[in-house]
Amino acid sequence: MFNMKILAGLVAVAALGACVEEDEFASSTPAVGSSADLSSFEGAKAGQAEMGIQNLGYEAVRSQGLTTWWFNRSTGACARIVTSNGRYSEVDMLPAGDC
């Protein structure tokens, strides 16, 4: 089960991430579970994790079957998330152009 404390921590990390200058996102590796990297959501229950992803500034930009592409306009981050058996079975961070 996706732990709500983890979700609260991810939201807090995202809020702190907003304090980082934008140039730092371009030159450093994104923190996992931040507004630039959703890989920590892999294995989470899709229905519960979707709000957490939206709270990090992502919006679903397209879907194909059980695959959804999420884009964060403020960071330029793009993620492809595959849902299987009600959970996020694959979370891949992609170049912004793929969204």
Retrieve residue 41's tokens.
């959501």
The ranges assigned to domains in the chain are: 4-98
pLDDT at 46 over 60: yes
Supply the pLDDT for residue 10.
43
Residue 59: pLDDT band with limits 50, 70, 90: very high
Averaged pLDDT for residues 44-55: 92
Type of residue numbered 13: V
**pTM of the predicted structure, to 2 decimals:** 0.66
Backbone φ/ψ region at 31: left (φ over 0), alpha (ψ -120 to 50), beta:
beta
Supply the pLDDT for residue 48.
87
Residue pair 73/52 in contact (Cβ under 8 Å)? The answer is no
Residue 4: pLDDT band with limits 50, 70, 90: very low
